[in-house]
Structure 1
Amino acid sequence: MHLLFEIPLFLLITFFSYLEALVKLFISAKKKSIRGELVLITGSGHGLGRATAYEFAKHQCNLVLWDINKDGVEETAEECRRLGATAHAFVVDCSKRKDIYKTAEKVKEEIGDVSILMNNAGVVAPIDVVSTDDHDIQKIFEVNIIAHHWTTKAFVPTMMRNNHGHVITVASTGGHIVIPFVVPYCSSKFAAVGFHRALTAELTALGKHGVKTSCVCPMFIKSGFVKNPSSRIMPPMEPEYVAKQVMKGILTNERMIFIPPLLKFILMLDRLLPDRAAAALWGLHEIKFDYVIGYKDEEN
């Protein structure tokens, strides 16, 4: 198609996209059924992973739960069973590629084909980047983003063959804005957002429209991930509330799930405002959490 025709088409698509978004403010999107789906959640031994597992259990899904913490993941599985779901717990270190692939094969052989994959496992080190241990930096990237590639290679091919499935990437507000003293974490979450967008584009290019994708970007969650988090405008949220919002987004195939919803508007402002004004905007939030500053200026 000639560029002269494509530009008006682009403007028309933009207009109808805004109109569709406006209509969705007043009309609830249709929810899909996930009953009986085999759902795998990494990092499901506590926090958001555990709370989301409970939400899937309430929808009568079959659950495969991964976590490095044996007691935690088994507790989650037990509660999911109490809620009426089938749940299988596995101890998996998501920083280790071989561990992921080995357990993935076991899941496929003994349980079945995963149709919903939630990459939720994450780690953080709240310290200035210069003082962050090399091993900690490496592990943050291994768990927060590199592991996504291994789980995707293990489970998504079957989704693609069936043209059915859902891949959920748990990123963060830190995947859209920068926060001091968690530089490796923010970097890995920016990568997670990029992973989600690139995977979405690739599935579309391959015509696999039945494999849906969602990226979860919450503000602070009261899960102990960082100590004493606070924000004046968007205070820390309970994992149960966030999990319900995540489930709402999954059931309506929402591509980018911002929690709380106000975050979406604030991030739009962040991109439109000049740098100084954007900095002032985040200054209003007064985002705080416990961190360590190991860096010191050398004395003369």
Structure 2
Amino acid sequence: MKFVLDILLLLPLLILFSLESFVKLFIPKKRKSVSGEIVLITGAGHGIGRQTAYEFAKLKSKLVLWDINKHGIEETAAECRRLGAQAHPFVVDCSNREDIYSSAKKVKAEIGDVSILVNNAGVVYTSDLFATQDPQIEKTFEVNVLAHFWTTKAFLPAMMKNNHGHIVTVASAGGHTVVPFLLAYCSSKFAAVGFHRALTDELAALERTGVKTTCLCPNFINTGFIKNPSTSLGPTLEPEQVVNKLMNGILTEEKMIFVPSSIRFLMILERILPERFLALVKRKLNVKFDAVIGYKKKE
């Protein structure tokens, strides 16, 4: 009973903070400078990671680029240098904890303390539970969420010491709502979103308010990982479009970014709609892509 009374006493603050949030919608947010910051991006050899590297290069950050693909990471580094930034490529397997830790030591010794960490590397297997092989499930979690723990443990201490830094989690709309035949992927992205939210609260509890966090949750992106995706939410997103939203979110220190923004509204609906009506809404969304189905119905 006391808890309920305490909450009721907070209602005036709820009204005040809601009005404040509404007013802020019409005030342009100040963008911070990242010039000279050491930015480490995982999965920087292609797609979102590559485009993010290019945008940081234009802002004169110092780039540390990780990817398992040597050719891809060297191409990204070359373009970043052409854009006028320092770029240091490292071939790193983000499914391997020891490779992450040893590469992190090299980065700190040879380049310095990372102040912006973009955990972008990810894998996806489009198949039902039965067609998804055990090693594929393990790798999905190793890359999509466990790697975030290892990289953050490696680079966060310096950020906390200086009370300055930024941890960016590239998750997915699939970290908030589920899609059939992406069971391992959605599960790992739910974990990545949870990682972001828990880390955000933990930094606040430790009074490290200078270390910021941002989580990106986009819909299908045209990177080639998922074949022939479509949904009534709109056309498949282009990497440049998503990175534009991501960079704006990082520079204005936004905590959660949905692309398109309508996904945020759908998340609210999912929490309040009756289950049967929600099933109809999901049918209307008409999410489709090529997938391998291992389950065979009995004739």
Q: Which amino acid aligns with 1:224?
A: G
SS in 2 for 1:34: coil
Match of 2:120 in 1: 120
Give the drift of 1:295.
1.5
Match of 1:111 in 2: 111
Give the drift of 1:3.
5.0
Give the drift of 1:167.
0.2
Maintained 8 Å contact 1:234/1:285: no
Give the drift of 1:285.
1.6
Could you say if the C-alpha distance between residues 88 and 286 of structure 1 is closer, same or farther in structure 2, counting changes exceeding 3 Å? same
| 1:133-158 CA-partner distances (Å, limit 9, x unpaired) | 00000000000000110001100011
Unmatched tracts of structure 1, length 5 or more? none
Match of 1:202 in 2: 202
Match of 1:229 in 2: 229
Match of 1:46 in 2: 46
| 1:16-67 CA-partner distances (Å, limit 9, x unpaired) | 3321221122111121111111000000111111111111111111100001
User: Bigger CA drift: 224-233 or 14-23?
Assistant: 14-23
- 1:89-168 paired onto structure 2 within 5 Å: 89-168=89-168
Distance across 2 between alignment mates of 1:69 and 1:251: 28
- When the two structures are aligned, how many residues end up with a matched partner? 298
Distance across 2 between alignment mates of 1:167 and 1:215: 9
Q: Which amino acid aligns with 2:205?
A: A
Give the drift of 1:5.
7.2
Maintained 8 Å contact 1:42/1:49: yes
Could you say if the C-alpha distance between residues 54 and 208 of structure 1 is closer, same or farther in structure 2, counting changes exceeding 3 Å? same
Distance across 2 between alignment mates of 1:29 and 1:281: 34
Distance across 1 between alignment mates of 2:47 and 2:295: 31
SS in 1 for 2:10: helix
Distance across 2 between alignment mates of 1:179 and 1:5: 40
Superposition RMSD in Å? 1.4
Give the drift of 1:6.
3.6
Moved over 3 A (4+): 2-6
SS in 2 for 1:131: coil
Distance across 1 between alignment mates of 2:224 and 2:21: 35
Match of 1:243 in 2: 243
Maintained 8 Å contact 1:38/1:61: yes
Distance across 2 between alignment mates of 1:95 and 1:291: 23
| 1:72-124 CA-partner distances (Å, limit 9, x unpaired) | 11111111111111111111000000000000000000000000001000001
User: Bigger CA drift: 22-31 or 243-252?
Assistant: 22-31
Distance across 2 between alignment mates of 1:184 and 1:4: 39
Distance across 1 between alignment mates of 2:226 and 2:176: 18
Match of 1:295 in 2: 295
Distance across 2 between alignment mates of 1:71 and 1:14: 52
SS in 2 for 1:129: coil
Q: Which amino acid aligns with 1:258?
A: F
Match of 2:284 in 1: 284
Q: Which amino acid aligns with 2:55?
A: E
Give the drift of 1:9.
4.9
Maintained 8 Å contact 1:41/1:118: yes
Match of 2:191 in 1: 191
Distance across 1 between alignment mates of 2:195 and 2:16: 27
Maintained 8 Å contact 2:172/2:189: yes
Maintained 8 Å contact 1:77/1:89: yes
Distance across 1 between alignment mates of 2:297 and 2:70: 42
- 1:59-74 paired onto structure 2 within 5 Å: 59-74=59-74
Give the drift of 1:279.
1.9
Does 2:85 match 1:85? yes
Give the drift of 1:174.
0.4
User: Bigger CA drift: 2-11 or 244-253?
Assistant: 2-11
Distance across 1 between alignment mates of 2:37 and 2:265: 33
Distance across 2 between alignment mates of 1:57 and 1:269: 39
Maintained 8 Å contact 2:231/2:285: yes
Q: Which amino acid aligns with 2:108?
A: K
Q: Which amino acid aligns with 2:13?
A: I
Identity of aligned residues (%): 61
Match of 2:55 in 1: 55
Could you say if the C-alpha distance between residues 109 and 268 of structure 1 is closer, same or farther in structure 2, counting changes exceeding 3 Å? same
Distance across 1 between alignment mates of 2:50 and 2:11: 43
User: Bigger CA drift: 12-21 or 227-236?
Assistant: 12-21
